[in-house]
Structure 1
Amino acid sequence: MQPATVPLASPAHNAPHTVPAPGALASGLPAAVAAALWRGDQLGAPVAATLSSGFAALDAVLPGGGWPCHTVTEILAPQSGMLEWRLLGPLLRQVCAGGRSVVLVGPPRPPHPPGLRWEGISERQLVWVQTETPAERLWATEQLVRANACGAVIAWLPQVRTEQVRRLQVLAAGCAGPVFLCRPASAAQESSAAPLRLLARVGPDWALRVDVFKRKGPPLGSTLHLPSVPGGLQAILTPRLKQPSALLPSDQPRDAAPAPTPKVDHVVVSAPAPSARRLRLAH
């Protein structure tokens, strides 16, 4: 019996396939479908509403021109409890002005009402949920997002896991306001279901250095420098103190980190020499 033979593909089958240009592809679709088409090299449009961040440079690179609602946004910082207020202050002022409440879950430091008043944030609309364990922080955050009873939720979850962030992202779809998760800078190396992730650091001249390393769109290759003078200092800083980098030597980078302080494990104190003791006693 002769073995079965399989016919070879004709040369027409091996011809290179031409991929149509994105514009040509969109032109052949219905208008409603073409309007909803998003390409990976374009800044995506949000499905839900957005709120302005208060920083024009940041709004320009965020999908939809602001902080997204109905979703989770991660804010990473080297030291928690400091830069988050400066970055989110304009948004919180906007939420409070609209009569909505802002809920804080597990902040590493108690809120400072006088400083919040300088930022235009009323303590009457600020709810602080004090928790003791990571499990309590996560549970409280999930209940608040599910209830959809506040204008914004800010939760400090340094030990949250990937599947837990994914569950919060699913719950946030039914939350009208933005949901922020504050995590350490080391979490940038971990995967996350949050559609928007930012890394905030201290910059020169009272500025914030912000890296948007995950968004719906092409990666942002540059670092944003956002002016962020604390409200209590804005009225008392002199022009020279508003730009302290001008006082640095010209050969030193303005955004260079300070030299680390040497670590001292122990200190040895020796007694004075016997001759020195005798001289003092003789006097």
Structure 2
Amino acid sequence: MTALPKHIEAIHPAIWRGSQLARAYGKTIDTGYAALSAELPGGGWPIGSLVELLIQQPGIGEMRLLNPALIAASQRPVALLQAPHVPNSLAFAYLGVPLNKLTMLRAPKTADALWCAERVLNARSCGALLFWQQHIRSEALRRLHLAAQATETLLILVRPLAAAQDSSPATLRLGVRPADGGIFVDIIKRRGPTRTESLSIHLQPSPILLSPHGRIRRHLPTPALAGGIPSEVVASD
């Protein structure tokens, strides 16, 4: 049997040793959290591939976790597909995501939402697509992953933490649970060795980004969000 070269990565950038983090052979966006970035191949969120964020429940800090990446990606539009609550445009602006770059998309059925996600990716115009979905078939996951590979879009699929037991073609899968002052992040899948210990990520307090109690304040006009959001500010109580 032919021995593998000392530097196996020299064969192809997509090959890596199981005991080491893979080298990034595509672009990444820094997470903004040094402890997390150090555990990810390429030191950040992979662009042009499917990333799954598996959350214990909405609103535990997942948007603040993604905020530094969204700021970096917002040179182009940022699409929010099937967001569970009303986007708080004031909070996004406060945290540095331009209002005129946010687009909210809604679809009545899962099949329509998946079609919409593929169209967004095929258009190749968005810097990031955040897609919330409770249930999704494995073939749909593969289609999203393949569609993302032809783009330079940060594709984040937000699913329930219970989905961690399901197989997925995603390049990166992270579990997110609440913690005092922040969140715990479990690395469920990455290109590299298994990590059994949770990462503790401290999150700075911030305005609510997604609120089930959103209301329209008509005396504060702002640029419109696409997808049916009125032109007035969508704010939270």
TM, length-normalised to structure 1: 0.69
Q: How does 1:26-175 map to 2 (within 5 A)?
A: 26-27=5-6, 32-33=10-11, 37-96=15-74, 99-175=75-151
When residues 95 and 39 of structure 1 are mapped into structure 2, their CA distance, relative to the original with a 3 A threshold, is: same
Is the 8 Å Cα contact of residues 210 and 226 (structure 1) preserved in structure 2? Answer: yes
User: Normalized per residue, which structure has more strand?
Assistant: 2
Is the 8 Å Cα contact of residues 27 and 34 (structure 1) preserved in structure 2? Answer: no
Letter in 2 for 1:164: A
Q: Could you say what secondary structure the match of 1:43 adopts?
A: coil
Q: How does 1:209-224 map to 2 (within 5 A)?
A: 209-224=184-199
- Please state how far the C-alpha of 1:28 moved relative to its aligned partner: 9.6
Unpaired segments ≥5 residues, structure 1 = 1-18, 234-283
When residues 36 and 110 of structure 1 are mapped into structure 2, their CA distance, relative to the original with a 3 A threshold, is: closer
Unpaired segments ≥5 residues, structure 2 = 209-237
When residues 230 and 25 of structure 1 are mapped into structure 2, their CA distance, relative to the original with a 3 A threshold, is: same
When residues 102 and 168 of structure 1 are mapped into structure 2, their CA distance, relative to the original with a 3 A threshold, is: same
- Please state how far the C-alpha of 1:44 moved relative to its aligned partner: 0.6
Q: Give the structure 2 partner of residue 265 of structure 1.
A: none
User: Please, which of 174, 178, 182 is the counterpart of residue 207 of structure 1?
Assistant: 182
Is the 8 Å Cα contact of residues 16 and 192 (structure 2) preserved in structure 1? Answer: no
- Please state how far the C-alpha of 1:35 moved relative to its aligned partner: 6.9
- Please state how far the C-alpha of 1:177 moved relative to its aligned partner: 1.8
- Distance in 1, matches of 2:71 and 2:50, equals 19
When residues 79 and 37 of structure 1 are mapped into structure 2, their CA distance, relative to the original with a 3 A threshold, is: closer
- Distance in 1, matches of 2:51 and 2:150, equals 15
- Please state how far the C-alpha of 1:34 moved relative to its aligned partner: 7.6
- Distance in 2, matches of 1:217 and 1:102, equals 29
- Distance in 2, matches of 1:232 and 1:169, equals 32
Deviations 1:83-117 (A, max 9, x none): 32111011111222xx2110011101110011112
- Distance in 2, matches of 1:80 and 1:43, equals 30
When residues 222 and 33 of structure 1 are mapped into structure 2, their CA distance, relative to the original with a 3 A threshold, is: same
TM, length-normalised to structure 2: 0.81
- Please state how far the C-alpha of 1:27 moved relative to its aligned partner: 4.6
- Please state how far the C-alpha of 1:32 moved relative to its aligned partner: 4.3
The farther-off stretch of 146-155 and 81-90 is: 81-90
Letter in 1 for 2:192: G
Is the 8 Å Cα contact of residues 35 and 199 (structure 2) preserved in structure 1? Answer: yes
Superposition misfits of 4+ residues, deviation over 6 angstroms: none
Deviations 1:58-103 (A, max 9, x none): 000001000001101000111135532111011111222xx21100
Structure showing greater radius of gyration is 1
Is the 8 Å Cα contact of residues 80 and 182 (structure 1) preserved in structure 2? Answer: no
Letter in 2 for 1:150: C
- Distance in 2, matches of 1:94 and 1:228, equals 18
Q: Could you say what secondary structure the match of 1:25 adopts?
A: coil
- Please state how far the C-alpha of 1:161 moved relative to its aligned partner: 0.8
Deviations 1:226-257 (A, max 9, x none): 11123349xxxxxxxxxxxxxxxxxxxxxxxx
Is the 8 Å Cα contact of residues 24 and 42 (structure 2) preserved in structure 1? Answer: yes
When residues 28 and 203 of structure 1 are mapped into structure 2, their CA distance, relative to the original with a 3 A threshold, is: closer
- Distance in 1, matches of 2:19 and 2:206, equals 38
Deviations 1:23-80 (A, max 9, x none): x631598x94287652111101122110101100000000100000110100011113
Letter in 1 for 2:36: L
Letter in 2 for 1:153: L
- RMSD of aligned alpha carbons: 2.2
Letter in 2 for 1:89: N
Letter in 2 for 1:214: K
